[in-house]
Amino acid sequence: MSEPERVDLRDIIAHARVVAVLGAHPEPTRPAFYVPQDLHDAGARILPVNAQRTGETLWGEPVRATLAELSEPVDVVDVFRRAEHLPGHLDDLRAMRPPPRVVWLQSGIEHEAFAQALRDTGITVVQNRCMLAERRRLRVEHIG
């Protein structure tokens, strides 16, 4: 059974009130912008994370350098980082208090060892799926 069949994607998206976007980007043509923008337009609060963009503001929020800097509960961490970079974010994800409910690896991003390490700590992982495409496919009109 594939990962999306084991988790309720509709429930995850419908309750993704606070989404941390790892690898957030200000360029409107990049998925790391237009996917979170779609979630924002549907009602989610977006917390951008990108060490190369600190000092900027996206979606009305300051860009943080690390996930561990977030001081509030996060429902979903939406990841826009290449698979080979994911192990470098594992400690940062584990340092989040409280931990996120879900880590969502966007389309084209899969790393089973990384995913299993998160699952071992009780975090649900979705791999190789686009939140925007799934939100539309599942007809989740409003988040929250």
CATH value at residue 63: 3.40.50.720
Task: Indicate the pTM of the whole model.
Answer: 0.94
Report the DSSP beta bridge partners of residue 62.
Answer: 57
- Report if residue 44 sits inside a domain: yes
Domain count, the chain: 1
Structural domain that includes position 129? 3-137
Q: What is the DSSP letter of 64?
A: B
pLDDT tens track, the chain, 144 positions: 344 447 899 999 999 999 999 999 999 999 999 999 999 999 999 999 999 999 999 999 999 999 999 989 999 999 999 999 999 999 999 999 999 999 999 999 999 999 999 999 999 999 999 999 999 999 999 998
Report d(CA 67, CA 55) in Å as an integer: 15
Sequence letter at residue 138:
L
- Report if residue 89 sits inside a domain: yes
pLDDT confidence of residue 7:
86
Q: 50 near 26, Cβ under 8 Å?
A: no
């939100």: which residue's tokens?
A: 135
Q: Residue 72, exposed/middle/buried by CB under 10 A (0-12, 13-18, 19+)?
A: exposed
Report d(CA 39, CA 92) in Å as an integer: 23
